[in-house]
Amino acid sequence: QRQVHPGGKDVGAENARLYFVGTATTILEWEGVRIMTDPNFLHAGDHVHLGPGVQATRLTNPAVDLHDLPRVDLVLLSHYHADHFDQEVEASLSRALPILTTPHAHAALTSKSPPSEAFTAVTALDTWDSALVHIAPPSRPSPTKPVLKVTATPGKHVPPGGLLEAANALAGAVPPTHGWMVELGRLHDDDGGELDVGYRIYITGDTLFVDELRDIPARYPEVDLMLVHLGGTTIPSRALPLLMVTMDAAQGIQLVHLINPDVTVPIHFDDYDVFLSPLKDFQEAMTKAGLDDKVVYLNRGDAYSFAVRG
């Protein structure tokens, strides 16, 4: 199913789309380029190892199988965790596929044994670092060139400070994570390379609502689309819910108020048995906050079409 802006904005002028595969996996298409986020293509009943003594079971199926994907040009990997980069993905993806990710994931992906198994086009970004992704210009002459600018944004997968963060740093159970600010725009040949941003997408990554996120609206006061990772992931298990490591509905609403995006699309919900905050909780919270005209709910296999300006 194809969905458009809930307020009717730019309907009929859409030139880009976001396809929801499931969990945190989406495919962004614009100007002939496809960017995939956090590839996870396990099926219902499959298991992932998330750290010492922590295992999760997938409850849903992806909207498309890994081997049926169209060509993908770039992967944005928020962190190196099996529910975001599963064992089948790791075994199957081309070693030359460009990947933007964290320094931790970069080290893991580029130091395989044997060396022939290492990924060869991985770029590590620290928080607030950016990378420009140049898109092949159109066949017709044009004074502008389509470009994607990807900036790593803050994220905390475990509550900051205190014994919990120190213990996790020692055990390495929950890896460091990023969010992403993806700016779709054009470079003008005649103005010194200034990027004219036509659409801005904030992908939260697997983060809790932490103080560092307050820097985002200070740097980016206008966000067109926010993909918010929800689920209220709680480890080590549903039966022993000791530590929440992704936002639940309450924290998700806090972030919506903080970022104030034009449209929010929730992802990363109801896919694993360690996700304890269902989508319906977020839906109820958005309705209570009077924000039903600022949110789009995608089923797995749905796409959201939008208009990139310029």
The domain that holds 50 is classified in CATH as 3.60.15.10
Give the per-residue pLDDT at 190: 58
197: CB partners within 8 A, 6+ apart = 149, 183, 184, 185
Looking at the structure of the chain, the number of domains it has is 1
Amino acid identity, position 309: R
DSSP-assigned states of every residue in 68-82: G-----EEE-S---T
The pLDDT-based confidence of 171 (bands split at 50, 70, 90) is: very low
Average pLDDT, rounded, for the chain: 92
Quick one: CA torsion of 36, 42, 43, 47, rounded to 10 degrees? Answer: -150
pLDDT above 80: residue 233 = yes
What's the sign of the alpha-carbon dihedral 228, 229, 234, 238?
positive
Angle CA(159)–CA(160)–CA(162) in degrees, nearest 5?
100
pLDDT reported for residue 69: 94
Domain region containing 97 = 2-306
Given pLDDT bands bounded at 50, 70 and 90, which one contains residue 188? confident
Residue 162: pLDDT over 60: no
What is the per-residue pLDDT across 74-93, written as a single tens digit (0 to 9) for each? 999 999 999 999 999 999 99
pLDDT in tens, 101-129: 999 999 999 999 899 999 999 999 999 99
